[in-house]
């Protein structure tokens, strides 16, 4: 049985279009008529499109604009709870020192969201 060798052609990237010598932008009037053109500096507007860089910029701008509104209080920030709810011994109940402990209704939170969080990149 003879074996055949499969050969494939090399895949090459498509050639990029040559950049135009001068970059120009059309100027329009308020009515939509063409008023002329303006030359744009190639050092600023002649760069090749970089989708990864544009994505990084957009993600960064959206992260910087993200508000931090969610906020919960720790047990030390909740008002009340200064007095021991009942004596330590003799009641038959579990011992507690504050009604603002995270295990109590109305108490502080343990790992809740904080407004100090910074999402900026």
Band of residue 4 on the pLDDT scale cut at 50, 70, 90: confident
What's the rounded Cα separation, in Å, for the pair 60 and 87? 55
The answer to whether the CB of 112 falls within 8 A of the CB of 72 is yes
Over the chain, what is the mean pLDDT?
87
What's the rounded Cα separation, in Å, for the pair 24 and 30? 19
Q: Tell me the pLDDT tens digit for each residue of 46-90.
A: 889 999 999 999 999 999 999 889 999 999 999 998 999 999 999
0.85 exceeded by the pTM? Answer: no
The answer to whether the CB of 27 falls within 8 A of the CB of 39 is no
Cα–Cα distance list, 69 to 46, 106, 116 (Å): 41, 20, 9
Q: Tell me the pLDDT tens digit for each residue of 23-32.
A: 899 999 999 9
Kindly report the backbone phi and psi dihedral angles of residue 81, in degrees, each rounded to the nearest multiple of 5, phi listed first. Answer: 80, 20
């Amino acid at each position: 049985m003879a074996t055949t060798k499969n050969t494939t052609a090399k895949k090459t990237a498509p050639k990029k279009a040559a950049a135009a010598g001068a970059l120009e932008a059309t100027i329009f009037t308020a009515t939509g008529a063409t008023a002329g053109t303006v030359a744009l500096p190639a050092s600023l507007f002649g760069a090749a499109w970089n989708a990864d860089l544009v994505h990084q910029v957009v993600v960064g701008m959206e992260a910087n604009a993200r508000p931090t509104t969610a906020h919960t209080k720790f047990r030390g920030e909740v008002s009340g709870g200064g007095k021991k709810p009942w004596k330590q011994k003799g009641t038959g109940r579990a011992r507690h020192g504050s009604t603002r402990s995270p295990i109590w209704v109305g108490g502080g939170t343990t790992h809740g969201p904080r407004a100090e969080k910074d999402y900026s990149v």
